[in-house]
A = this chain, B = another copy of it.
Amino acid sequence: MKQVTKHVIRNDLKRLFTYRLCLIGFKRKGFDRIYSYNLGEEAGVTAEQVRKDFSVFKIKGNKKSGYKINDLLHAINEIFKYQHNQHVIVVGMGNIGKALVQYKRFILRKMVIVASFDIDPSKQSKRFGIPVMPMEMMGEIIKKFHVKVAILAVPDISAQDTANILVDQGITGILNFAPVILKVPDDIIVSNINLCDELESVIYYTQKVM
């Protein structure tokens, strides 16, 4: 048992997501082809970085006339293709859990929240488009939908216990909103979202002259 803190989202992957976002924007504006410096400008990185990233992922452009936006989008989607229509569960249907299950964009990105869980029976009666179930049903749902990834949105104090349950039930990836460093086996992926840290660093940088 050892926690995984090593930043789970590699920088080049993160940039790939950013490129996709920008490309969709360019496409919407009517563009068809794009140069590395356009995309770099938009994504906030250098043109060389863009080309190098594409090079790493074996994405090819056309000398002199740049990249076809559709090809790029297709190539980027191909990198993530196998994971389309992944089923995800949410544990803890409080403020943040409720917001997440109602977030439409997950569906656009082919990530489907199939069920949510809460220990509080009063939450179980309410519905937000998807069922809110008692914890005991988790095993069944995980099996039925082949769920591998869970969003953890329970109070900090319960986060470790709940993570243990998730791992026992066969979950291998956790998007964790609790400000807690989870102890999980080496082969479990944990990505921590710590909004306090994020807000505090924005404040930090607004105060510092850089």
A: residues with CB less than 8 A from B are 2-11, 13-14, 17-18, 21-22, 25, 42-45, 80, 82-83, 86, 88, 95-96, 98-100, 102-103, 105-106, 109, 111, 148-149, 151, 172-175, 179-181, 189, 191, 193-207
Selected A-B contacts with CB under 8 Å, 8 pairs: A7-B11, A21-B180, A25-B181, A83-B207, A98-B99, A103-B195, A173-B206, A189-B206
Q: In angstroms, how far is the closest chain B Cβ from the Cβ of A161?
A: 15
Q: Tell whether, in the assembled complex, residue A109 and residue B9 are in contact, meaning their CB atoms are under 8 Å apart.
A: no
Whole-angstrom distance between the Cβ of A98 and the nearest chain B Cβ:
7
A191 to nearest B CB, angstroms?
Answer: 5
Contacts of A17 in B (CB 8 A): 194, 197, 200-201
Task: Report B-chain residues with C-beta under 8 Å of the C-beta of A173.
Answer: 202-203, 205-206
Which residues from chain B contact A95 at a C-beta distance below 8 Å? 98-99, 102-103
Contacting residues, chain B, for A13 (C-beta < 8 A): 201, 204
Contacts of A189 in B (CB 8 A): 202, 205-206
- Chain B residues whose C-beta falls within 8 Å of the C-beta of A11 in the assembled complex: 7
Q: Kindly report which residue of chain B lies nearest to residue A202, judged by CB atoms.
A: B173
